[in-house]
Structure 1
């Protein structure tokens, strides 16, 4: 079945006005990564039945679908309508029309989160050290702690020697134990740039007493500098916030415009069914499985910031976060708010009956259709790694040309 058309300029207007819109790219992930509008979300046509109801919780949300001429739109419209979605349009002329209108196309996946990270570094001058300097500090047994903010499975695959796994939003909650001596320099690393920039700036924003720097260009930069990586490590940072961390995190969220709501107000948000509300529990998977507030989907905070296009494809929606300790929700919310989201944190809710059970995990795309990031696995393709970094360096200028983002940096 065909759907009514909408022009590229109408989609762009909706994005500028912060109207709710799910702009869905129906191609496989590998094709999506070759170029797409900034706020497009990838939902391959063949995965709609698997993903739509989790990622698009409101059945009357405005949806715009497009492809690059592969003929995916009619079947995708049929699938969405069969699931009960009733406000579906197709982008007139598809991806080519977007490009022909003079609008920007962004490569890779999680593009706007990565662009935001580059904007943060540009505006806050987030400190970093090159791989050679960090390696020299490690070799000299200097007073440093290297904290890896990737998912634990990424860390276990390959990591900076001696580093400890402290995924993303856990940093402020665990830095006091990972580096109890204020004289210890904390080095934050990820695979490339985004998560280390956000992690480093999170600690700085929250007022950690330690000096904090990012490992410039992460494990990619480390590999390009011909430094050795460790494999199979299982060191995890324990919980232990530095003094004042909880209140400082709340202050950071406040400065970013995050609103705190109680249980009654959160129910009122849910009752406003003409708006999409995403609810995420940003703790680690074990905590979530042991007991979580009903209706909240698990998404670790650091990954949520990087993967927000995957977690919440409806741009203009509301986001409500929960965390029984507060710190992780506040820090995560502070970044999402700066990325233009209407963001709330739930106070309380853990003093009543909780649901137990493991997180919902959507299966990854078939390997043949996945976009393989140049830092994945243990293979070394230095040319691809350098090209990836060069692409990231250009994102701030591309954001300026695109002019739809609405990001701000506190």
Structure 2
């Protein structure tokens, strides 16, 4: 077998500086990635590579460089990518250690390009913020104040500031004037940590809202570290906007986007760009997930604007690519585009789209190759097998999902570790595979068969189909075959994080501006 071609750290640095297209992808599981990686690396766990590559790297001749920390995954990663049709796949020479040895800066956590950019924004324009005790005192005193939570609704529902209203980031310029129509009303923007509250606050200030606007300093982390109680399970959400509000938000957002260097195109011009096989063009719909599901443009993927700005490494992992945004109300695309442009992207906004062009319905679809033939069984069939026993049931869910709920007796396993963690001696009776929707289990079936010598059965529709059939789940750790170290535990999510982890996370964020300076490849600017 021919050894894969390699790329030097200097090659990657030059591509980033020259704004050439490159996808630097880390094949490790998310937790290992979060501990150490280059600034513009994107996490593509080898376990899920077939499920993510086509949507996240849409152009088959994109320059791709893969790496891990010890070389154990790169050969397999190159093989998978080449089978998927990618033509220019190389391995980072020396892996992560090679990057370090060449003087490359190492970053921690996830969504680091966006988080470091948020810190740069605050350092450059001094985005105002208020500490949690001061905000609580204002609330307790009945001050004329509203709290707007810029995270996804699901995150808001998990934990929120008392009285807070869910207004995901891209909605702020449109919805805030409806929630706080009196210019004297103070607006507090929060997220779990810092980035989305800083970007949300600065969005309202950039757009010229007359209200006093502040970020909640350090978000729900700061609130918790101050010993103050959060709310849970809240359902307050932003109001609908009428024509006047839409027009006012469009005018404000358009001015900000113009100052940031955003450009606007029509559908005919987009068709020309999309036909260009020398460039990657991401087409992203920044509206709410429900709006997208109700009707969207062919070829566009759902990427709600505030989350898109937070997760550029996920939604657009090809650095140097072109991004086209769409929004029926304009302001959400324009504001999102203004931030992406400042983060160094070539970004355009699609306008003048006829309503009947939004002909596609449903949520994002995963584009993936055929996983090959597998024998699938129904939930009722699996239930009978479990009653008759014995059954070896392997669950390829992410570990947090597995712990929240799995079929009783299912054993957690990480696909990429099958050889290390699954012994033929572990297999007793019928061999059945599952995953949340069954898809990853189908891709793992051939590997399980090769390892055990026993073709497995796959639960059709996965664990979701099991629950849809009215069958119960167990929770907790079960009897795992793999360690629960695949998913990074974010210090700013959930309700049971240690105070030391939350404080360490804030300390890390404070140091990101200096890390950006040392790295030197970002190309960010702040209007």
For the aligned pair, the TM-score class normalised by the smaller chain equals: over 0.9
1:211 pairs with 2:328: no
Instruction: Find the residue that maps to 1:57 and give its secondary structure.
Output: coil
Q: Does 1:304 align with 2:305?
A: no
Aligned residue in 1 for 2:222: 221
CA contact (8 A) 2:246 2:329 kept: no
How far 1:357 sits from its partner (Å)?
A: 2.4
Give the whole-Å Cα distance in 1 for the aligned partners of 2:397 and 2:337: 26
Q: Over residues 266-301 of structure 1, what are the superposed CA-to-partner deviations in whole Å (9 max), with x where a residue is unaligned? A: 111101111000000000011111111111100100
Determine the C-alpha separation between the residues in 1 that align with 2:126 and 2:76: 47
Q: Distance in 1 between matches of 2:247 and 2:358?
A: 30
- Alignment size in residue pairs: 410
Per-residue deviation at 1:380?
3.4
Partner residue of 1:260? 264
Asked if 1:103 corresponds to 2:104, the answer is yes
Q: Deviations over 1:65-122 (max 9, x none)?
A: 0010051001001100111001000001111010011110000000111000000000
**CA deviation string 1:11-43 (max 9, x = no partner):** 111111000000001111000011110000010
| 1:286 pairs with 2:403 | no
Query: Which of 1 and 2 has greater Rg?
Result: 2
> 2:87 — aligned with what?
86
Question: What is the CA-CA distance between 1:378 and the residue it aligns to?
Answer: 1.0
Which deviates further from its counterpart, 173-182 or 274-283? 173-182
Q: 2:504 pairs with 381, 387, 391, which one?
A: 387
> 2:426 maps to which residue?
none
Deviations 1:354-394 (Å, cap 9, x if unpaired)? 22423227798443311010122110310000000000000
Larger RCO (CA within 8 A; separation ≥ 6): 1
User: Is 1:409 aligned to 2:526, yes or no?
Assistant: yes
Task: Give the secondary-structure state (helix, strand or coil) at the position aligned to 2:356.
Answer: coil
245-254 or 299-308, which deviates more: 245-254
Go from structure 1 to structure 2 and tell me whether the alpha carbon gap of 1:175 and 1:243 turns closer, same or farther (over 3 Å shift): farther
* TM score, norm. by length of structure 2: 0.76
Report matched runs for 1:23-34 at 5 Å: 23-34=24-35
Structure 2, unaligned runs of 5 or more: 367-395, 401-483
Alpha-carbon contact 1:176-1:242 (below 8 Å) kept: no
Unaligned runs of 5+ in 1: none
Alignment RMSD:
1.4
Matched ranges for 1:359-378 at <5 A? 359-360=363-364, 365-367=398-400, 368=484, 369-378=486-495
Please give the secondary structure, in 2, of the residue aligned with 1:352: helix
CA drift at 1:243: 7.5
Distance in 2, matches of 1:55 and 1:372, equals 23
Contact persistence 1:208–1:245 (CA under 8 A):
no
Is the partner of 2:357 in helix, strand or coil? coil
